[in-house]
Copies of this chain bind each other. A is one copy, B any other.
Amino acid sequence: MSLRLPIAVSARHAHLAQRTIDLLFGPGYQLRPRTWLSQTGQFAAEESVTVIGPRGRLEHVRLMGPPRAHDQIEVSRTDELDLGIDAPVRMSGDLAGTPGVTLEGPSGCAQLTSGLISARRHIHASPEDAARLGIRDGETVAVRVDSEGRDLTFGDVTVRVAPDYRLELHLDTDEANAAGVESGSTAELIRPRHRA
């Protein structure tokens, strides 16, 4: 039984509501799919925006589609320091009390009042993969990365199980860089009963 997990590194990106897309790109603007993600039905769009904070700007931040009910901008901690905004580590969709940020697009700006997060690391798994690996939706596990000179064990990894999920460990760029890995590298699941 394999406990290897493929790693997917998430660069900074944004999921926006249609009303925000309207402000940035013009009324009724439709995002154009560029690449379809491994998780069914979502895509990286051709469009990008500039994210602006009190200290600095992040150019070419990729948009994801389709539009969502709420704006969510996912950046690394390094990005937060560049922007000058302190955002919490959160799972996708958990946006209560998160800070806002300014977005700039080709047709205008949008002042968001919330939505900036640093994504909590997590595993996506189908029910079949979860059963094979002995992990359950919502639990916290650890994963080990064996890399050249940057071995690392990540705790606080949340498991998310859904029928349309492909097995992947999602890390942000700070986490991948600290571990010396990139998309396509693998990590080893440390099952709860093996944890110290």
Contact = CB atoms under 8 A, between A and B. Distances in A.
Interface of A: 76-78, 81, 89, 120-121, 142, 148-156, 172-175, 177-180, 196
A155 B149 CA distance: 8
Copy tally for this chain in the complex stands at 2
A89 B172 CA distance: 19
Main secondary structure, interface of A, reads mixed
B78 A177 contact: yes
A78 B142 CA distance: 24
Given A120-B149, A153-B152, A156-B151, A174 B89 contact: no
Counting chain B CB atoms within 10 Å of each CB, the highest count among A120, A142, A148, A178 belongs to A178
Q: Which 10 A-B pairs have the closest CB atoms?
A: A151-B155, A77-B177, A178-B178, A153-B153, A174-B177, A89-B149, A175-B178, A174-B178, A151-B156, A174-B174
Contacts of A142: 151
